[in-house]
Structure 1
Amino acid sequence: MKVQTKTWITGLILAALSFAPAADAQQKLKTAVADDIFADHPSMDRNATVMPAPDAKPVAPIFSERPIGDASVARLPGGGWILTGTSLRSGARHGVELWTSPDAKKWTRIGPAKISGDGIAPGDVSERYLAPSVTVAGDKLYLAFSDKTGCARVATGRAAQPGGAFKASRCLVEGASDVSLFVDEDGTGYLLWGGGSIAKLAPGFAKLAEAPRFLKPDQSLFAKHPPVGKDWPVRTRVGTRGAAMVRDGEHYVLAASEVTGRMRTATEDLFVAEAPTPYGPFTMRALTVPHAGRGSIVRLDDGKLAAAYNPKCDDGFAMFCEQVGLVPLERAPDGRLRQAASVITEDSAVAARGALITSETMRDPSVALGGDGFYYLVGTLDGYGYHKPDGGVKLWRSSDLKQWDEVGFIWRWEGMGYDFGKNIAELWAPEIMWSARDKTYYLAFSVMEKGVGGKTWLYRSKTGKAEGPYENVTKSYFVKGIDGFPFEDDDGLYFLWGGGNIAKLDAARSGFEGPVRQLVDADGDHVGYEGNGLIKANGVYFLTGAEWHGPLRTHGTYDMMYGTSKNLFGPYTQRRMGAPHGGHGTAFRDKEGRFWYTMFGNDPTAPWRMHFGLVPIDIGDAESIGIPRIDAVRD
């Protein structure tokens, strides 16, 4: 994709562009919302990193000859492949190991490379080179590495003879790591290292031609929307290690990886930023390949780019570790590079599934098994919630958790007993619950009032049917705060809301009997800051909640966390990951005794966004929630 430099699209413009998805998947964004955090929310498809096609396949290793990290892949003249990286575990670990392949399937070891140069003794087993990289330019084959003293060096050989001799430069930069070389179309070489340091090389690549500088996003892009909270990394860097550069038409693509704490595990993701020159100005960084590890970008036979996929074993959601795969890249509608729709890079039950209702957007889905044997579903609709006086709470019904039929609106705005005046009032997070004790359904929902805050109402079906009609259990709102959740225990009904507030409902269900308590984990922290729910299994209470992990909203994940206790009021165990990307859903047991969790997709790496889906969960012992692996749940 060739773009003239004068029409270069900056990251700020990219962030503002939108596209028109299919009518059945369009996500409405209102001009006036209750909270401007939704102005460019990660749950919108236009911000997605992951958009898998229905026939997407998990990324598979192309190289598994031996454990390897920091993989670097390049193309040889004639279409062959060459690969290097940090040798791990057993076997030779000195020098620079090289493998070649005619087809990226069958590999031949030709290393360690025969490197000579100042202070290098060929065959010296003490020469441990970490994260070497390989570059092919014309008839030359270059190896960039940091030697055992921490000096960045470039060794030059012939592309036609990968097993031949390499002549290493003197020390180019001291204290360097993750060294790579970029050679532009005019033959100019640039040394890169760390998370984004760069310096032009003199002809022959034997010394620097300029003082090093550090590459980061153009700071003017943050003038209107400065990053807040955990978003600060997006401003200061593209990544923390493995900086590498490729050219894609007139785009200079800077790639680097970073462990962000996304998904509450050591997820090392690949980020990129782009510029019209090797020095910038660079766009805001974009999360391009989740779980990729530190790797390189290479061009495929079809001319498109692909990223090396080489996760560490610390990443509990990687498809594999210490092997090498290739993830094809594609351009999103706004021009960003991201992983292609044909591939899945995350090993989880969530990554393997798809949305069940796509006719309209839905957030915060709630499913309950009713007294009539049907499953009932409600959720936040109309993008980020209906505005008063539009819409209301809509109901779906299913007999098998697969086919969902729309019942229609079961509640509208009339008779709430509260005057919003001229304020914007937005309907959020309805919850439906069947009470076997009361033989009827309860409906809780929240309204966020701009400039005032959130309140939650509690309604009850007057007919004992899920479709209602419903009546307010009191004369106005039930509690201040959002995310109400009715829960039935052996001794009565309880109401949970906010970040863990709970109290027992009185006999009339119009107020509380006893004190309001706070459910916390063993450290005194909330299990989820919003979207709490409860389920009881095997005499153990499972408290679930939603939490962001990693850089907040920008590249983080909105996950379901949980804690367990044998006492309703806790304390609960330290919060643990339950369902990745599954924040603000509800757990329930189906007619066969299996457990499920609802999900809508609220982050850029969720397999879908703002649509209702179900994730299987496995309560394998008394106090844990398990997530089946990807090969166990593919339909």
Structure 2
Amino acid sequence: MPVKKHLSILALLSATLMAGPAPAQQQQLKKAVADDIFADHPSMDSNAVVMPSADAKPVTPFFSERAIGDASLARTADGGWVLTGTVLRTGVRHGVQLWTSADGKAWKGWGPARITGSGIEPGDVSERYLAPSVTVAGDRLYLAFADKTGCARVAVGQAARPDGTFTASACLVDDAADISLFVDQDGTGYLLWGGGNIAKLSAGFDRLAETPRFLKPDQALFAKHPPVGKDWPVRVRVGMSGATMFRDGDRYVLAASEVTGRMRTATEDLFMAEGPTPYGPFSMRMLAVPHAGQGAVVRLDDGRLATAYNPKCEDGFALFCEQVGLVPLERAPDGRLRQAASVITEDSAVAARQPLLTSEMMRDPSVTLGGDGYYYLVGTQDGYGYHRPDGGVKLWRSADMKRWDDAGFIFRWEGMGYDFANNIAELWAPEIKWVERDKTYYLAFSVMERGVGGKTWLYRSRTGKAEGPYENTGKSYLVKGIDGFPFEDDDGLYFLWGGGSIGRLNDRRDGFDGPVRQLVDVDGDHVGYEGNGLIKVNGVYFLTGAEWHGPLRTHGTYDMMYGTSRTLFGPYSQRRIGAPHGGHGTAFRDKQGRYWYTMFGNDPTAPWRMHFGLVPIDIGDAASIGVPRVDGARAE
């Protein structure tokens, strides 16, 4: 059976450098002056899908008897397990394959279920049923499936006799897929199919008792339009396929999956929405379990809910594929269901790490190794940036990248040489850089002025010390645009900003000596739409940048992309993902020659949000950024 291999999760769990306190569960929004687009930003803990504890463990397969997709699980009254799904690869593939287990460890296969009914010939190898599902209600075991003509059907047998006969209904719905059955506490049955179609069944589950309808979030929740600049939430569905329903107390939960493209790969994620009846009205959809595939939800022996974890091999960041694991669920502070803090569902260099600095919120972290052997850190603070005239740029210092000491503010708003005209102005993305040729530190930072746009300043330490004091290299801002990054090359000091604009600074560092160019990849695209940085290793330039991938920002990922070139001005290789969830950060080399990337967590599936952390990266050749494994091998 194929087992998907990717970045070693063992390397992450064995790493102790990043161990630190868990991030705060809730973050305070700014007051009335805050930009509306940040009012419900993905980086807020209130939107978190993933909040792993420091001792979280990766989900592992509990069923690997055979390659299987679209897994469906059910529990029997005596605590046993029943499993089915789309059988894959070699072996018998017709009919509905069943497996049972008394303890969820040792599994017995029963072969194709003996299904009888109109138009069904037992043993017919042409009956290829995709995504069948199992439901247990009392002493009955139900199989829901679409036959080879596309008709949805429900077959009933005995839970105690998985090897017995199952009697199938006539065709219930034409041209249906991903059939499932929900049996409510009063015995009422509901047929679900596709991404959210539903219809009540007759008492015998042999015909529809009503006209089908499609379930989606309550449209009244979308009466208020999102502000300009904020992503529009999905309002027309909960998912695209694999709709299933379960009950948790007095709430009915609709679950469905969708291939979202987070992390620039085929992530099939599980979404959920809740309502007071099987017909809703349902809440907005929320991403509940990343990489889960079509997740059937069951109740564990300890009373917790759990969903099947059954990714496809096309998902480049799933922990395994075509096998089945279990992901416990928990209620977030706002009541929605999400994966429990005890599990990790992603195989990446980031998934098991912890933030380093949790005393203050931080975005866009920048680290430089100074001329004195210390590491220095700055970043966007006060949530989404200090508002003029408050705050400024604060500095942290570390000797070992483990403990970071607060060195206080090194910049405040005075003397910038610019009139903000009483507009709301936020300080974003400070970048600190030790420049060897000048034997001093440079500080770049951006100010986003409401209704005007962003501008970036460049300051220089007068003392050659990271603490400053700093002075403006010019009389006002250096460039229009945001995300400035000083880069020292053999022939001078360059300044990179925006989505790839770059120019060589003059000797006074208050302007450019020569033309400003645009860095792009071989396709003519930017490597990152914001947060660009540069690092040079063995004569190769690595251009990094931030991009969003997936369903808008709402449930997407904010990833670090990169391209490489033998020349500074490129073109760079086609952009690739380097550090998932890394986004706007800085690559740097430590005193031992290892490479790191700073990260703050800007999306709902990052392991933390809005706190400074570090991710190890391995730059081993001219083509790629990889991740070191625990055995010293290199994974990409």
TM-score under structure 2 normalisation? 0.94
1:587 corresponds to: 587
CA distance in 2, matches of 1:376, 1:43: 24
Aligned length, in residue pairs: 613
1:61 corresponds to: 61
1:37 corresponds to: 37
2:182 corresponds to: 182
List alignment gaps of at least 5 residues for structure 1.
1-20
- State the SS of the aligned residue for 2:431: strand
Report whether the alignment pairs 1:547 with 2:547: yes
The 5 Å alignment of 1:254-333 reads: 254-333=254-333
1:146 corresponds to: 146
2:476 corresponds to: 476
- Indicate conservation of the 8 Å contact 1:34/1:450, yes or no: no
2:436 corresponds to: 436
1:12 corresponds to: none
The 5 Å alignment of 1:519-530 reads: 519-530=519-530
- State the SS of the aligned residue for 1:157: strand
Residue 34 of structure 1 and its aligned partner are, at CA, apart by 5.5
Deviations 1:111-154 (A, max 9, x none): 21111111111111111110000000111110000111111110
CA distance in 1, matches of 2:252, 2:629: 37
Letter of the structure 1 residue corresponding to residue 314 of structure 2: D
CA distance in 2, matches of 1:417, 1:138: 76
- Indicate conservation of the 8 Å contact 2:353/2:607, yes or no: yes
1:72 corresponds to: 72
CA distance in 1, matches of 2:273, 2:516: 49
Deviations 1:247-286 (A, max 9, x none): 1111110000001111000000000000111111110000
Residue 628 of structure 1 and its aligned partner are, at CA, apart by 4.2
1:18 corresponds to: none
Please say which of residues 294-303 and 528-537 is displaced more in the overlay.
Answer: 294-303
Residue 421 of structure 1 and its aligned partner are, at CA, apart by 2.6
TM-score under structure 1 normalisation? 0.94
Report whether the alignment pairs 1:486 with 2:480: no
1:354 corresponds to: 354
Change (3 A) 1:629 1:270: farther
Report whether the alignment pairs 1:196 with 2:231: no
- State the SS of the aligned residue for 2:620: strand
Residue 206 of structure 1 and its aligned partner are, at CA, apart by 0.7
- State the SS of the aligned residue for 2:131: strand
The 5 Å alignment of 1:19-418 reads: 27-33=27-33, 35-226=35-226, 234-418=234-418
Residue 523 of structure 1 and its aligned partner are, at CA, apart by 1.3
Letter of the structure 2 residue corresponding to residue 335 of structure 1: G
- RMSD over equivalenced CA pairs, Å: 1.7
Report whether the alignment pairs 1:619 with 2:632: no
1:10 corresponds to: none
Residue 572 of structure 1 and its aligned partner are, at CA, apart by 1.0
CA distance in 2, matches of 1:117, 1:157: 12
Residue 162 of structure 1 and its aligned partner are, at CA, apart by 1.6
- State the SS of the aligned residue for 1:130: coil
1:5 corresponds to: none
- Indicate conservation of the 8 Å contact 1:244/1:254, yes or no: yes
Please say which of residues 415-424 and 124-133 is displaced more in the overlay.
Answer: 415-424
Deviations 1:361-392 (A, max 9, x none): 00000000111111110000111111111111
Change (3 A) 1:211 1:24: closer
- Indicate conservation of the 8 Å contact 1:347/1:630, yes or no: no
- State the SS of the aligned residue for 2:302: coil
- Indicate conservation of the 8 Å contact 1:24/1:360, yes or no: no
CA distance in 1, matches of 2:75, 2:323: 18
- Indicate conservation of the 8 Å contact 1:42/1:604, yes or no: yes
- State the SS of the aligned residue for 2:291: coil
Change (3 A) 1:246 1:632: farther
CA distance in 2, matches of 1:350, 1:22: 15
CA distance in 2, matches of 1:26, 1:352: 20
2:17 corresponds to: none
Change (3 A) 1:500 1:22: closer
- Indicate conservation of the 8 Å contact 1:262/1:551, yes or no: yes
CA distance in 2, matches of 1:162, 1:121: 19
Change (3 A) 1:229 1:261: farther
Residue 295 of structure 1 and its aligned partner are, at CA, apart by 2.1
CA distance in 1, matches of 2:135, 2:608: 36
- Indicate conservation of the 8 Å contact 1:34/1:448, yes or no: no
- State the SS of the aligned residue for 1:235: coil
CA distance in 2, matches of 1:630, 1:352: 14
CA distance in 2, matches of 1:504, 1:560: 24
Letter of the structure 2 residue corresponding to residue 412 of structure 1: R
Structure 1 stretches of at least 4 aligned residues deviating more than 4 Å after TM superposition:
21-26, 226-233, 628-633
CA distance in 2, matches of 1:260, 1:631: 33
- State the SS of the aligned residue for 2:73: strand
- Indicate conservation of the 8 Å contact 2:22/2:53, yes or no: no
- Indicate conservation of the 8 Å contact 1:293/1:309, yes or no: yes
- State the SS of the aligned residue for 1:621: coil
Letter of the structure 2 residue corresponding to residue 526 of structure 1: H
CA distance in 2, matches of 1:287, 1:192: 20
Report whether the alignment pairs 1:531 with 2:538: no
CA distance in 2, matches of 1:89, 1:305: 30
- Indicate conservation of the 8 Å contact 1:434/1:441, yes or no: yes
- State the SS of the aligned residue for 1:322: coil
- State the SS of the aligned residue for 1:475: coil
- State the SS of the aligned residue for 1:46: helix
- Indicate conservation of the 8 Å contact 1:34/1:425, yes or no: no
Residue 37 of structure 1 and its aligned partner are, at CA, apart by 1.1
CA distance in 1, matches of 2:227, 2:86: 35
Change (3 A) 1:218 1:25: closer
- State the SS of the aligned residue for 2:111: coil
Letter of the structure 2 residue corresponding to residue 453 of structure 1: G
- Indicate conservation of the 8 Å contact 1:352/1:630, yes or no: no
Residue 587 of structure 1 and its aligned partner are, at CA, apart by 0.5
Letter of the structure 2 residue corresponding to residue 377 of structure 1: L
- Indicate conservation of the 8 Å contact 1:357/1:612, yes or no: yes
Deviations 1:161-208 (A, max 9, x none): 122110011111111111000011111111111111111111111111
- Indicate conservation of the 8 Å contact 1:599/1:614, yes or no: yes
- Indicate conservation of the 8 Å contact 1:230/1:551, yes or no: no
Letter of the structure 1 residue corresponding to residue 247 of structure 2: R
Residue 294 of structure 1 and its aligned partner are, at CA, apart by 1.2
- Indicate conservation of the 8 Å contact 1:365/1:585, yes or no: yes
Change (3 A) 1:407 1:231: closer
Change (3 A) 1:540 1:23: closer
Change (3 A) 1:355 1:552: same
Letter of the structure 2 residue corresponding to residue 404 of structure 1: W
List alignment gaps of at least 5 residues for structure 2.
1-20
Change (3 A) 1:230 1:446: closer
Report whether the alignment pairs 1:567 with 2:567: yes
Residue 233 of structure 1 and its aligned partner are, at CA, apart by 6.6
Residue 315 of structure 1 and its aligned partner are, at CA, apart by 0.5
Change (3 A) 1:452 1:553: same
CA distance in 2, matches of 1:518, 1:368: 25
Deviations 1:548-584 (A, max 9, x none): 1111221000000111111111111111101000000
- State the SS of the aligned residue for 1:246: strand
Deviations 1:479-502 (A, max 9, x none): 111100000001000001111111
